[in-house]
Amino acid sequence: MNIFRNRLELFYLYFQIIFIMLLARLIYESFSFAGNSLRANKLRTFLSLLGITIGIFAIISVFTVIDSLEGYIRNSLNSLGSNMIYVQKWPWTPPEGESEYPWWKYLNRPVPQIEETEEIARRSRTTEDAAFLFGFGATVQFENSKAENTEIMASSYELFDTWNLEIEKGRYFTESESQTGAALAVLGTELVEKLFEGRDPIGNEIKIQGHRLLVIGSYKKQGSDMFGTSMDKRIHIPVNYAASMVDFRNRDRGQTINIKAKQTVSRDEFVAEIEGIMRSLRRLRPMEENNFAINEVSAISNQFDAFFAVFNVAGSIIGGFSILVGGFGIANIMFVSVKERTRIIGIQKSLGAKKYFILLQFIFESVILSLLGGITGLLLIFAGTSIFNAIADMNISLSLGNIILGIMISGIIGVVSGFMPALIASRLDPVEAINTV
């Protein structure tokens, strides 16, 4: 019994090997015939490639731009922090259920104050850190170097931990220096390069509106984002020193209370507690509306989700039409190819070529054309993204997923476009085909 089973297994293995060898030979011969045909008709091959190249370039470039833009926005949102809220005068989005932004309701609201930040930190049980910050523009000077319209970021001591900032050289303010309003500054990397031109900034003095500040540190380079959390182009000073430079109690300068939640608390509990504390500090009656805004990353994220869903559909439709045109172009070329090679097909069939061999021969030719066009389109996109990245701040990259998608679409278009011409070729009568003029 065991001998019979072993022989049966050997026979099955031998059959598999023979089948794989025959299939490999069939594919090789079909590809060989297809390749010879493409080389013999270079102009036709080029025109076919052009159509599918434009199609793949159109659809994958749209997806690449959308994916890169979405990634850029998501990274910017992540920099704001999913466990943080921002108490401000102005809300980031219209009220829930409304499409219009009623700015006139917010115009006369009071701006957040540093004392409110301190009270939130003292009263709240769900808060890990709370920082007060605002910004204003000014010209910064070091010796003969100037940086005009530089954003000066003034904040309380806690911003360093709230934003997870990192020092590259020197140090950050101490808590006592921040509270007493010491004339100190920490610079972003781009300002260090612009003002000091390769020199060490630590220990030097800069001038801002006639005020002299000692540079004690510089931040690590973060790169730009769309929400302005990067410190690369900013100068960071203690908020209590900024009081001697600008009026931030009565004028709107984007004052913000940035509050970071403890990891163990829920979002609803965190927001509800902060809202209750703020209403208490502002002495609002139960039926009165909030005269402050509690902004969250999720409000923007939800709007972007809907935006990118629509954008992806629109991109698919636009790219789909381009692919359709390229597919029709390949199908048309394949019909011409079948007509030109009718006599050759008849000779092949008379010599014993099977229908599936003729079928595969033309399908492979169509697939090769489509794949070559698709790969050319992907190479053009890669070249375009490389040029764009060299001249722009935003990074656009051709992802592996989009490369695979482009190749898959090319292969599918090749099969679909070549199937009908290949089927017609495989059904030709050998005698009639040989006698075709």
Question: Tens place of pLDDT for every residue, the chain, 437 residues?
Answer: 566 566 666 666 666 676 566 556 656 555 565 556 556 566 666 766 777 788 788 788 878 887 887 777 766 665 555 678 899 999 988 877 667 788 888 888 999 999 999 999 999 999 988 999 999 999 999 888 898 889 999 999 998 888 888 899 999 999 999 999 999 999 999 889 889 888 889 999 999 988 999 999 999 987 766 555 678 889 999 999 999 899 888 889 989 999 998 888 888 899 999 999 999 999 999 889 999 999 887 666 666 667 777 777 777 777 777 777 777 777 877 787 777 777 777 777 777 767 777 777 778 778 877 888 888 888 988 888 888 888 776 678 888 888 888 888 888 888 888 888 888 878 877 777 776 65
For residues 68 and 142, membership in a common domain is answered with: no
For residue range 325-369, list pLDDT tens digits in order.
777 777 877 787 777 777 777 777 777 767 777 777 778 778 877
Q: Is 139 within a domain?
A: yes
Q: Supply the range of the domain harboring residue 346.
A: 30-75+303-434
Q: Is 316 within a domain?
A: yes
The predicted pLDDT at position 55 comes to 79
77 bridge partner residues:
none
The number of folded domains in the chain is 2
For residues 264 and 312, membership in a common domain is answered with: no
For residues 49 and 170, membership in a common domain is answered with: no
Q: Is 104 within a domain?
A: no
152 bridge partner residues:
136, 235
For residues 279 and 313, membership in a common domain is answered with: no
The predicted pLDDT at position 364 comes to 78
Q: Please, are residues 236 and 155 in contact by the beta-carbon 8 Å criterion?
A: yes
Q: Is 101 within a domain?
A: no
For residues 335 and 286, membership in a common domain is answered with: no
For residues 287 and 342, membership in a common domain is answered with: no
Torsion of CA 294, 298, 300, 303, to 10 degrees: -130
For residues 40 and 171, membership in a common domain is answered with: no
For residue range 280-308, list pLDDT tens digits in order.
999 999 889 999 999 887 666 666 667 77
For residues 115 and 244, membership in a common domain is answered with: yes
Among residues 260, 291, 322, the one where a domain terminates is 291
For residues 68 and 116, membership in a common domain is answered with: no
For residue range 369-400, list pLDDT tens digits in order.
788 888 888 898 888 888 888 877 667 888 88
Q: Round to whole Å and give the CA distance between 118 and 113.
A: 9
For residues 245 and 371, membership in a common domain is answered with: no
Among residues 266, 291, 316, the one where a domain terminates is 291
CA distances from 94 to 78, 111, 252, 299 (A): 22, 19, 20, 10
Among residues 259, 291, 323, the one where a domain terminates is 291
Q: Is 10 within a domain?
A: no
For residues 190 and 328, membership in a common domain is answered with: no
Q: Please, are residues 363 and 419 in contact by the beta-carbon 8 Å criterion?
A: yes
For residues 280 and 207, membership in a common domain is answered with: yes
Q: Is 310 within a domain?
A: yes
CA–chain centroid gap for 18, Å, is 49
Q: Is 246 within a domain?
A: yes
Report yes or no on whether pTM surpasses 0.75: no
The predicted pLDDT at position 3 comes to 62
Q: Is 24 within a domain?
A: no
Q: Round to whole Å and give the CA distance between 336 and 334.
A: 5
Tokens of 295: 């902004």
Q: Round to whole Å and give the CA distance between 298 and 145.
A: 42
Tokens of 45: 């091959």
Q: Round to whole Å and give the CA distance between 432 and 346.
A: 7
CA distances from 59 to 69, 169, 369, 378 (A): 16, 46, 18, 10
